[in-house]
Structure 1
Amino acid sequence: MESYFKDLNLDSFWEDCEYSKKEYVNSPITRKIIELTEKELGYKLPDSYIELMTNQNGGIPVNQCYPTDQRTSWAEDHVAISGIFALGSEKAYSLCGELGSKFMIDEWGYPEIGVYFGDCPSAGHDMICLDYRVCGRFGIPKVVHVDQESDYKITPLADTFEEFISGLVHDSIFDEGETW
């Protein structure tokens, strides 16, 4: 299988903290978990997402910001991500968990454009999503930011999941004086 993250050190990608283990990290994935997750969500997950979850099934990345060329509700030049949802439903912050993708669509009214995989520091008021509108349920989705507070405004972030993951940067590069 092709590695999507050759230039990324996955051993140092995830934060090693109790909160991450308690809220985000599920048991290691199996073929069955992949199949059940995709069936429940109704979408084929990108191979790069599955590869990242093979390294660790969900968690909080060390680098939590993604630069943008347009203002979002978070900042004028980036979005922030709190965590990346695991495959399965073991933890609340899993793709099929209590606070997962379907919950965001059914309970918070997020548009049905794909799979919501990343929560943001706003406690549900914006999310990061795999956007399948152009590619269909079995294609390679783009990654977008969806802002509930701005009438579910969709801001394009990356053409692929691996581009999004590889483009995450540490929040220290943004000189904002405040840390969330």
Structure 2
Amino acid sequence: MTLPADFDAQHFWADSAYATEAHTEPAPSNELIARVEADLGYRLPAFYVALMRVRNGGIPVHTCFPTTEATSWADDHIAITSISGIGYEKLYSLCGGLGSQFMIDQWEYPAIGVVVADCPSAGHDLVMLDYRACGPQGEPAVVHVDQESDYKITWLAPDFETFVRGLMPEPGFE
């Protein structure tokens, strides 16, 4: 899949030395994608893979996503600090040292899918691809999981593309 023509991936990402150093891996090859999917046990969404081929992980320009219910972060939204890249090298990549499986094994997040975005709480909440309804080969929903509220799961979007397109600038929220 290629990204839809109406999605501007070049302006989606914030440019900074920190983002590049801490989050961005080289563009993923088909072999790397297959290896990461095998290690995680889930097929990654096509839109996610296409976005990572443009920039493999980093910090988006817009970091807030509106919610219809309160979370520990805010009454009307969640915030993210980064989106994980496909790989093993960077600490926050899907299979990096603080990647998806680490958060499930060590921080006891529910084994419902793949941790795909970090939040500003230093690990106390995060965003996951939720495969419970679709199975490991399906198109996952996107959810917020809040460790501070007994791992409460808040539904965010029906798929990763909707989640990414729904990210909004921080000044729109308190």
TM-score (norm 2): 0.98
Corresponding residue for residue 158 of structure 2: 159
The SS at the match of 1:135 is coil
The SS at the match of 2:163 is helix
Question: How far has the Cα of 1:137 moved from its partner?
Answer: 0.3
Please tell me whether residue 76 in structure 1 is matched to residue 75 in structure 2: yes
- Cα distance in 2 for residues equivalent to 1:74 and 1:7: 31
Structure 1 regions of 5+ residues with no counterpart?
none
Does the CA-based 8 Å contact 2:2-2:50 persist in structure 1? no
- Counterpart code for 2:76: D
Q: How many residues align?
A: 174
The SS at the match of 1:20 is helix
Corresponding residue for residue 28 of structure 1: 27
- Counterpart code for 1:134: A
- Cα distance in 2 for residues equivalent to 1:152 and 1:7: 35
Please, what is the CA RMSD of the aligned residues? 0.9
Does the CA-based 8 Å contact 2:131-2:140 persist in structure 1? yes
Q: Which runs of structure 2 are paired with 1:94-105 in the superposition (5 Å)? A: 94-105=93-104
Between the aligned residues of both structures, percent identity stands at 53
Structure 2 regions of 5+ residues with no counterpart?
none
Question: How far has the Cα of 1:8 moved from its partner?
Answer: 2.3
After superposition, the C-alpha distances for 1:92-132 in whole angstroms (9 at most, x for unaligned) are 01000000000000000000000001000000000100000
Structure 1 segments (4+ residues) deviating >6 Å? none
Corresponding residue for residue 50 of structure 2: 51
Corresponding residue for residue 90 of structure 2: 91
Corresponding residue for residue 37 of structure 1: 36
